[in-house]
């Protein structure tokens, strides 16, 4: 599974939904929706590029791969 870390990156950079929304040309509610995802289902390239540009980061800073564990064991 791909775990989405936008909330962590935003907190590290002390940037609000509203501030990020202005930087990437998106409504603050839309930023909130993509920020609160735990799993990354899909994101278009333009949005990912805008996030990386606004947050001065790489795509790998916004997501991490974690193996699914079918047995529920860590």
- Residue 70 is predicted with a pLDDT of 65
List the domains of the chain with CATH numbers.
Answer: 2-65 (1.10.260.40)
* Chain centroid, CA 61 distance in Å: 9
> pLDDT of 11-63, one tens digit each?
999 999 999 999 999 999 999 999 998 887 889 999 999 999 999 999 999 99
pLDDT surpasses 80 at 5 = yes
pLDDT surpasses 60 at 74 = no
What letters, b where the CB count within 10 A reaches 16 and e where it falls short, cover 14-38?
eeebeebbeebebeeeebeebbeee
Q: Select the more confidently predicted residue: 32 or 71.
A: 32
In sequence order, what DSSP letters do the residues of 11-58 get, joined into one string? HHTT--HHHHHHHHT--HHHHHHHHS-SB-----HHHHHHHHHHHT--
């Amino acid at each position: 599974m791909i775990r989405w870390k936008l909330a962590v990156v935003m907190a590290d950079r002390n940037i609000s939904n509203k501030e990020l929304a202005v930087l990437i040309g998106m409504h603050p509610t839309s930023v909130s929706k993509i920020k609160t995802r735990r799993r990354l289902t899909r994101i278009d390239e333009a949005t990912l590029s805008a996030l990386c540009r606004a947050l001065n980061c790489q795509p790998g800073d916004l997501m991490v791969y974690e193996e699914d564990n079918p047995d529920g064991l860590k």
